[in-house]
């Protein structure tokens, strides 16, 4: 069974700190990886996508991919209360998109 695993949290960080979210996946041939943010009662929205090993930065967000370890992470710098949400990790291969259960992040003012 192909799995994407995330720590459910909640992860609590103070405003201005770095939030680190982690994800592992079991399907070794997964090609693409995504981080979605989902506010309570809302639909997921894409934050970052990453396809190759290494880091990818976009504003306050950095995604990291290590295919050898089957590990994806998302760093949020200068965390804001508006970043409080559930973050979903997803892995894609051959039309099959697998999501983790999500990590709930709370940023405290």
Partner 1 sequence: EAQVTQNPRYLITVTGKKLTVTCSQNMNHEYMSWYRQDPGLGLRQIYYSMNVEVTDKGDVPEGYKVSRKEKRNFPLILESPSPNQTSLYFCASSFLAGVETQYFGPGTRLLVL
Binding segment toward partner 1, per CB under 8 A, in 14-22, 56-64, 75-83, 88-96: 88-96
78 binds partner 1 per the rule CB under 8 A: no
95 binds partner 1 per the rule CB under 8 A: yes
Could you tell me the CA-to-CA distances from 14 to 9, 21, 34, 48, 82 in Å, in that order?
Answer: 15, 15, 25, 22, 12
Q: Are β-strands 54-58 and 71-76 bridged in parallel, bridged antiparallel, or unpaired?
A: unpaired
Residues that bind partner 1 (CB under 8 A): 4, 6, 8, 31-32, 34, 42-46, 49, 51, 88, 90, 92-93, 95-102
């Amino acid at each position: 069974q192909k799995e994407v695993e995330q720590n459910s949290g909640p992860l609590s960080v103070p405003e201005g700190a770095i939030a680190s979210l982690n994800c592992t996946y079991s399907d070794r041939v997964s090609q693409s990886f995504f981080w979605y943010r989902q506010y309570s009662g809302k639909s997921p929205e894409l934050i970052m996508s990453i396809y190759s090993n290494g880091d990818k930065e976009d504003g306050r967000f950095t995604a990291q991919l290590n295919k050898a370890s089957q590990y994806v992470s998302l760093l949020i710098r200068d965390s804001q209360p508006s970043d409080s949400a559930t973050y979903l990790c997803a892995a894609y291969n051959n039309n099959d998109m697998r999501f983790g259960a999500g990590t709930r992040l709370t940023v405290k003012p």
